[in-house]
């Protein structure tokens, strides 16, 4: 039985993460993950044979079709930053790839309901930092998270989405295409929850500890006075990570939390350059030259206009079918000419 199948059985069993972590810490290396070592360590506490006899082939085959790898804390593929936190998750499900360069990571987090100011800040910070070699960590949620991931992708950089549900799901479902873009050579989607786990409310504070653990610093862009951002910040402080916060309009609800973080000691940040300076770096991004688009791409770009447009509106203007428009929009997103604002609405990034 392969290591991955054994790890999957342990994950979906009722054995706690603490017990699984203790078991893994008791063996010399990943090659020693096998049925005999499990029997030796866990048989006094659990019905090990019941665990080892779990039927997991359909789940395992489904995960492999999705390109999911199952790694333990003993694996070379386990993220280095995460290994350093207290009680790291013993098993991770990774769709995509973690590379050594991902240890140079910045988390960009915030509300699911940002203002246009918040969206723009998240996008621009992520784009600039990714252009300078940082991997952007966020939670694949709507709002700030989505814009952070997309900003990194626009720069041609790497980004990691940490989700609060099983790796076989995407929450919210509207971010399925974004998750696919990330996993297809631009980073990874990560979960430590067993496959099939729904996105329950109490999963997200646990997800937030992984966001903090993967990152060297945390940047809070916008947050209301009561926000999940504070969970991520608290984990970050526990792990010795510095926390930055973007100041905002004092009359805007979405900035109440970040303004409070600054009052409580978070480092105020007003440009990506502040983060680069923190690491002793300066921006390596050069001014972009004008780009020319092929005919069909230019027609779609023109149809979006200065105010943005929905897919059906673009179809009306161009006469293209929705499937063709979707394909062209994906190319324009990857080239950094447009971005999706949610609900199938697109706006331009460049004129």
pLDDT confidence of residue 2 = 92
Peptide bond into 172 cis (omega under 30): yes
Any residues with CB less than 8 A from the CB of 202 and at least 6 apart, and which? none
Structure token pair of residue 235:
């984990």
Which domains does the chain carry?
3-96 (no CATH), 100-278 (3.40.50.450), 295-348 (1.10.10.10)
- The residues pairing with 137 across neighbouring beta strands, listed in sequence order, are 107, 160
DSSP sequence for 192-230 = -SPTT----TTHHHHHHHHHHHH-SEEEE----SS-THH
Prediction pTM value: 0.81
pLDDT confidence of residue 161 = 98
Residues 3 and 27: their CA atoms lie apart, in Å, by 13
Residues 139 and 110: their CA atoms lie apart, in Å, by 9
Residue 203 CB-half CA count within 13 A = 16
Residues 55 and 222: their CA atoms lie apart, in Å, by 44
Q: Which among 281, 339, 300 is positioned nearest to 154, based on CA atoms? A: 339
- The residues pairing with 160 across neighbouring beta strands, listed in sequence order, are 137, 188
Helix axis angle for 229-238 and 256-263, nearest 10°, is 30
Residues 231 and 223: their CA atoms lie apart, in Å, by 12
DSSP sequence for 71-90 = EETTSTTS-HHHHTSSS--S
- Contact between 320 and 300 under an 8 Å Cβ cutoff? The reply is yes
- Contact between 78 and 71 under an 8 Å Cβ cutoff? The reply is yes
pLDDT confidence of residue 163 = 98
- Contact between 194 and 70 under an 8 Å Cβ cutoff? The reply is no
**Burial profile 289-321: b = 16 or more Cβ within 10 angstroms, e = fewer:** eeeebeeebebbbebbeeeebebebbbeebebe
- Contact between 103 and 76 under an 8 Å Cβ cutoff? The reply is no
| pLDDT, tens digit only, all 351 positions of the chain | 899 999 999 999 989 999 999 999 999 999 999 999 999 999 888 899 999 999 999 999 999 999 999 999 999 999 999 999 999 999 999 999 999 999 999 999 999 999 888 998 999 999 999 999 999 999 999 999 999 999 999 999 999 999 999 999 999 999 999 999 999 999 999 999 999 999 999 999 999 999 999 999 999 999 998 899 999 999 999 999 999 999 998 999 999 999 999 999 999 999 999 999 999 988 775 544 346 777 888 999 999 987 789 999 999 999 999 888 887 887 787 677 888 877 778 988 754
Beta strands at 187-191 and 159-162: parallel, antiparallel or unpaired? parallel
- Contact between 48 and 42 under an 8 Å Cβ cutoff? The reply is yes
- Contact between 232 and 208 under an 8 Å Cβ cutoff? The reply is yes
- The residues pairing with 70 across neighbouring beta strands, listed in sequence order, are 93
DSSP sequence for 163-184 = -SS-TT--SSGGGHHHHHHHHT
- Contact between 159 and 138 under an 8 Å Cβ cutoff? The reply is yes
Residues 332 and 328: their CA atoms lie apart, in Å, by 6
Residues 309 and 44: their CA atoms lie apart, in Å, by 62
Residues 160 and 188: their CA atoms lie apart, in Å, by 5
- Contact between 159 and 136 under an 8 Å Cβ cutoff? The reply is yes
Structure token pair of residue 142:
């709507």
Any residues with CB less than 8 A from the CB of 306 and at least 6 apart, and which? 348
Eight-class DSSP state of 342: E
């Amino acid at each position: 039985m392969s290591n991955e199948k054994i790890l999957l059985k342990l994950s979906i069993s009722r054995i706690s993460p603490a017990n699984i972590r203790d078991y893994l810490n008791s063996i010399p290396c990943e090659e020693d993950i096998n049925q005999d070592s499990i029997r030796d360590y866990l048989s006094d506490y659990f019905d090990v044979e019941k665990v080892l006899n779990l039927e997991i082939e359909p789940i395992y085959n489904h995960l492999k079709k999705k390109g999911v790898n199952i790694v333990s804390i003993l694996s070379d593929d386990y993220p280095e930053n995460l290994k350093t936190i207290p009680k790291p998750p013993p098993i991770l499900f990774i769709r995509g790839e973690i590379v050594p360069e991902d240890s140079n990571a910045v988390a960009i987090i915030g509300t699911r309901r940002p203002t246009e100011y918040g969206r723009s800040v998240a996008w621009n910070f992520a784009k600039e930092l990714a252009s300078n070699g940082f991997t952007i960590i966020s939670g694949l949620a709507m709002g700030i998270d989505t814009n952070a991931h997309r900003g990194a992708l626009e720069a041609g950089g790497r980004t990691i989405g940490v989700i609060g549900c099983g790796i076989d799901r995407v929450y919210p479902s509207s971010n399925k295409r974004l998750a696919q873009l990330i996993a297809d050579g631009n980073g990874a989607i990560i979960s430590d929850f067993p496959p099939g786990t729904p996105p329950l409310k109490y999963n997200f504070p646990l997800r937030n500890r992984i966001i903090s653990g993967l990152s060297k610093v945390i940047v809070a862009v916008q947050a209301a006075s009561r926000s999940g951002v504070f969970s991520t910040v608290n984990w970050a402080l526990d792990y010795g990570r510095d926390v930055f916060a973007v100041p905002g309009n004092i009359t805007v609800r979405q900035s109440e939390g970040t303004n409070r973080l600054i009052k409580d000691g978070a480092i105020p940040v007003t440009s990506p350059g502040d983060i680069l300076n923190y690491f002793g770096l300066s921006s390596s991004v050069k001014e972009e030259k004008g780009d020319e688009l092929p005919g069909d791409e230019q027609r779609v770009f023109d149809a979006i206009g200065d105010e943005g447009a929905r897919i059906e509106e673009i179809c009306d203007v161009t006469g293209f079918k929705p499937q063709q428009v979707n394909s062209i929009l994906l190319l324009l997103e990857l080239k950094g000419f447009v971005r999706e604002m949610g609900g199938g609405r697109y706006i331009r990034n460049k004129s």
